[in-house]
Structure 1
């Protein structure tokens, strides 16, 4: 009888241990699954250098720091909204748990964002505020970007800031940021200068900017353009190229944005007056942190510093970072100090004398 009792007890203990072990294994598996997942990153183009030179590697690096078991699935739309929609659908099918999206066309991607929402895949809007049920938003204050550009342009124009002719080279009209930048700039320059001509730059492309600037010179005369509000550095490049092609000797001040290496070198050379520096690392870090939190089922409001309303969604948890203006005298305390570029990267052999004059090599 005693032997039989011990057999029963042994069976019960073994069953309990098996159940406990299975529960523990299941809990460990759930924890492993929670801590290791795929994040999809969708960027809009290769036209603007920052996307692949800065944003992608910075997001990937921070993702690995925050979630070592996580992986990144990447796609670039190359300015094609339909391609980006297909890329997004493909990532959802593959089972990504969260998406970081910089939409090529914020309205065109609305149905894809809805698709992601219905599949239980949260979307973090990156750099541009997309329409649809997004779960988080990370960018820079676009109105402040425009204000910095407008203030710098007025300063550079000097006496011509009162009544001078300015050409506005806006960004791509499919991007809400383009209007954000434009309205910020106009809040500073309106009533002080004349907007001689204004153009939208399709795809933020240098070729489109070159063509638009050529049209502005044909309409106004190259010597009657006192300043150019270029929305970003790629547009500034097209503007300056057109001015040079027209053999304009004294280039008017031209603004920019993104602190592209080529633009920084143009500033050192005296061809472009300024750019707006947006510390991409801070933006990438915030987006990665928000994506990881959402992937783990956590509340992104713990990372957000404010909320934003889109045309379709209210109170989106948001991080809006502060940009800064960079003229030649600000390269050292901003871009060099932050490690964005090294002196050797900026100061090629051709620019050594100009770099010395700017105090970059001392």
Structure 2
């Protein structure tokens, strides 16, 4: 049931990864409303063309078709979804390449404990339009093909193991993946105007080689999950196989914490909150339901340990907006002079003091002009 009031869980506390937040339940009112950012107003654009709040700085860490600074590795074109992984005292940022004709894939940049770049390399190649995806609790990256009958590929951010195609997770126009370790399932979004919201139930948690693909249904305001008879999607596409499947207009990013999977739909500029504990769904944000909406063209999203969501825009005015636990939405940063691009791959490093993202087409408006950034600053640790 799409309730305007929802039991908010999932703020405060937690560890360094997106899978370990402490529950704090408080009855608050969805959807989020336009308000003042906890970080204050945006300053004049810096040397990289990014407007940030006071105390924050940006740097360019990679440019498409150019070597990553300090390495001999050439960064991929059209950077899209991304995530960070712990690497000893440092971390790794992975990024998809949304290129077609077998030119897609994913790459990684390795950082030291001080944030210096120490290496870069490919972790997936030869695939098509790898758009978003998601990290797993066992430290792999799920890279999703946004094409008809696309696959999910499980990749190794550390570059030691070859990527593996996970056919059991279904063939459709995949967008994002979000792991729910509590119910031991992986949620999946579909980038179609009549797309669905899925979950994959592995036979064994931690092993995605086999399992059951399910789709969310709705009947008389009651949600349920139904098995998809033919996850291969051929000849009948997965979204057409189950009567009563709930339709979502252009599924995009997905992010799980504390019993809730947040995901976005670009066709209606919404952020959804699926409460897996109660099996209910709410509209967490809708640009038609607030005055002067700052967030349009919703796309990738991630979260911070304090409960803030960070939602990137595909178009709009090239902002990453914050949605706070008390349901305020406001700009966090804005990229200037890149109106023909989109923001992708928002992800925090494990300790939560650096935010990574890409402008897919940069200043040129071409896939070869992508720019990947890092923002450092006083990200809040309490609310």
TM-score if structure 1 supplies the norm length? 0.26
Determine which structure has the larger strand proportion and give its number. 2
Greater relative CO, 1 or 2 (CA 8 Å, sep 6+):
2
Instruction: Point out the structure with the larger helix share.
Output: 1
Larger Rg: 1 or 2? 1
